[in-house]
């Protein structure tokens, strides 16, 4: 019997599965986790309908924002007779107090579900939750948002209870104020407290064993391309392209954005150092680099601006025994959909693989021929995810079972099972049907039992 860590290590090394395909998700949002913890999916239909009419999620979020953040929600009026229950639920599960102890409780709550479901690995909630700065007036609505010390402003969605990104502490046409602010944040970051809380959370017992012995946590943190989310307003992605093109055309020393990217690279390398001290296998960089048509940047541009920094980061990580997983949605094969010019695999070969990435997570099914990619990369890159998230939203358990089984079986003829860690090509999102999620898990295990020799 192999451990989750052994299965994950083998897969990230692009080896054949040891006894079964390991399973991984980058995470799950609030509603699916709550439904599993409360066994909501097992309730009779009339009871589920009655609970939906109570609007408990909105009630919980309303009191969460009011009692723990001091923000009044103007768009929603709670039913006063339900005041006690939401407040108790908040206190038990989603208290926003900035304490190490509460961070441990959040982690324990989040990880109960994947451990119960037999996952080998799961994305780790960033301990930046410890660094809550206060509320700040939103420019878009005139209401308050929640600001963390990295300068990002968030809100809590009334319908789902999930954190949503809504803005930045400072906004200007070039991102200069936020570059200065975030650079200072990185310089002052308290790694000792951050990873002390991380270690304490991993050493908690769930049942009779420590959390770290039952599942492999993988830290999810923003990568280099996604630094624009900390510098430019989300609605002004054109500012990213302007700055990247300026760096590409620049001769000699890098410009302001280039220096910012260098500082972020050093920041990520420091995280790698602490992950190595905790003996964790990998770092997962959230860094969308493409849409459904292809990469955001031509290979030549990416090779000059990003590749040297990613190569430096990967080399450092490998020297510490840490694998680097790149998370990106979109299509990495670079031939245009109209077929007018065939560029083929230059981006995935010359950028993603050549810069030292060990694995690619999500491998969005709608944007890629997964089997074609698996055949091409062979044992040069592990693949995580790859199963269409929409299957779990719009199909029942039996349909999901047929799709997942047929999907996995095709790898036996096209690409092989080495370096494959199945899961959704996004995450367990709000509209996920719980029974279909369970069906995907069981199907992966049933497939493994039939086709993987121990």
Q: Is residue 268 part of a domain?
A: yes
Q: Which of 413, 399, 405 is nearest to 447 (CA)?
A: 405
Cβ-count burial of 171 within 10 angstroms (0-12 exposed, 13-18 middle, 19+ buried)?
middle
Mean pLDDT of 250-272: 95
For 192-206, what is each residue's pLDDT tens digit? 988 998 999 999 999
Provide the CATH number for the domain around residue 382. Answer: 3.20.20.210
- Supply the pTM of this predicted model: 0.92
User: How many domains, the chain?
Assistant: 1
Contact between 324 and 357 under an 8 Å Cβ cutoff? The reply is: yes
For 7-27, what is each residue's pLDDT tens digit? 999 999 999 999 999 999 999
| Residue 30: per-residue pLDDT | 81
Residue 299: give the domain boundaries.
4-30+97-129+172-451
Q: Is residue 429 part of a domain?
A: yes
For 148-196, what is each residue's pLDDT tens digit? 888 888 887 877 777 788 888 888 878 899 999 999 999 999 999 889 9
Cα gap 404→441, rounded to integer Å = 9
Mean pLDDT of 125-129: 64
CA atoms within 13 A on the CB side of 106: 22
How many CB atoms are located within 10 Å of the residue 372 CB?
Answer: 13
Whether 120 has a pLDDT exceeding 80, the answer reads yes
pLDDT greater at residue 232 or residue 16: 16
pLDDT confidence tier of residue 416, bands split at 50, 70 and 90 = very high
Strands 121-124 and 216-222 come out as parallel
Q: Which of 77, 81, 84 is nearest to 58 (CA)?
A: 77
Q: Is residue 396 part of a domain?
A: yes
Q: Is residue 439 part of a domain?
A: yes
pLDDT greater at residue 37 or residue 365: 365
In the chain, the N- to C-terminal Cα span, in Å, equals: 9
Q: Is residue 144 part of a domain?
A: no
Q: Is residue 24 part of a domain?
A: yes
Helix (H) or strand (E) holding 283: strand 282-286
Contact between 357 and 325 under an 8 Å Cβ cutoff? The reply is: yes
Strands 121-124 and 24-25 come out as parallel
| Residue 341: per-residue pLDDT | 59
DSSP letter at 160 equals T
Task: Name the percent of the chain lying above pLDDT 90.
Answer: 63
Q: Is residue 358 part of a domain?
A: yes
Q: Is residue 70 part of a domain?
A: no
- Tell me what the pLDDT averaged over the chain comes to: 88
């Amino acid at each position: 019997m192999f451990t989750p860590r052994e299965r994950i290590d083998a897969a990230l090394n692009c080896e054949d599965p040891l006894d079964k395909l390991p399973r991984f998700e980058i995470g799950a949002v609030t509603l699916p986790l709550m439904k599993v913890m409360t066994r909501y999916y097992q309730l009779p239909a009339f009871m589920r309908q009655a609970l939906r009419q109570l609007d408990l999620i909105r009630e919980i979020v309303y009191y969460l924002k009011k009692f723990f953040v001091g923000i009044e929600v103007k768009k929603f009026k709670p039913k006063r007779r339900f005041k006690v229950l939401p407040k108790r639920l908040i206190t038990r599960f989603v208290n926003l107090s900035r304490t190490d102890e509460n961070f441990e409780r959040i982690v324990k709550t989040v990880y109960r579900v994947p451990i119960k479901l037999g996952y080998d690995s799961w994305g780790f909630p960033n301990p930046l939750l410890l660094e809550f700065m206060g509320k700040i007036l939103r420019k878009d609505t005139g209401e308050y948002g929640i600001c963390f010390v990295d300068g990002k402003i968030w809100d809590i969605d009334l319908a789902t209870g999930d954190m949503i990104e809504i803005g930045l502490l400072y906004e200007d046409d070039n991102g200069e104020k936020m570059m200065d602010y975030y650079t200072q944040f990185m310089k002052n970051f308290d790694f000792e407290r951050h990873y002390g809380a991380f270690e304490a959370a991993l050493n908690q017992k769930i049942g009779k064993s420590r959390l770290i012995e039952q599942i492999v946590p993988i830290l999810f943190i923003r990568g280099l391309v996604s630094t624009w989310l900390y510098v430019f307003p989300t609605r002004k992605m054109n500012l990213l392209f302007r700055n990247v093109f300026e760096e590409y055309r620049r001769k000699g020393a890098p410009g302001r954005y280039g220096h910012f990217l260098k500082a972020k690279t050093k920041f990520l390398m420091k995280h790698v150092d602490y992950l190595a001290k905790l003996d964790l296998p990998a770092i997962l960089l959230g860094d969308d680099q493409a849409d459904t048509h292809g990469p955001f940047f031509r290979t030549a541009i990416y090779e000059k601006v990003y590749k040297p920094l990613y190569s430096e980061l990967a080399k450092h990580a490998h020297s510490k025994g840490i694998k680097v997983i790149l998370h990106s949605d979109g299509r990495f094969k670079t031939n245009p959909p109209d077929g007018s010019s065939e560029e083929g695999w230059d981006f995935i070969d010359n950028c993603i693989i050549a810069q030292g990435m060990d694995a690619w997570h999500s491998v969005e099914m709608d944007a890629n021929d997964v089997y074609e990619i698996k055949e091409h990369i062979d044992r040069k890159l592990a693949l995580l995810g790859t199963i269409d998230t929409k299957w779990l939203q719009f199909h029942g358990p039996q349909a999901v079972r047929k799709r997942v089984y047929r999907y996995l079986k095709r790898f036996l003829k096209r690409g092989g099972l080495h370096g494959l860690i199945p899961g959704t090509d996004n995450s367990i999102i709000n509209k996920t049907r719980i029974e279909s999620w369970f069906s995907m898990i069981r199907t992966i295990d049933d497939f493994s039992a039939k086709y993987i020799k121990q």
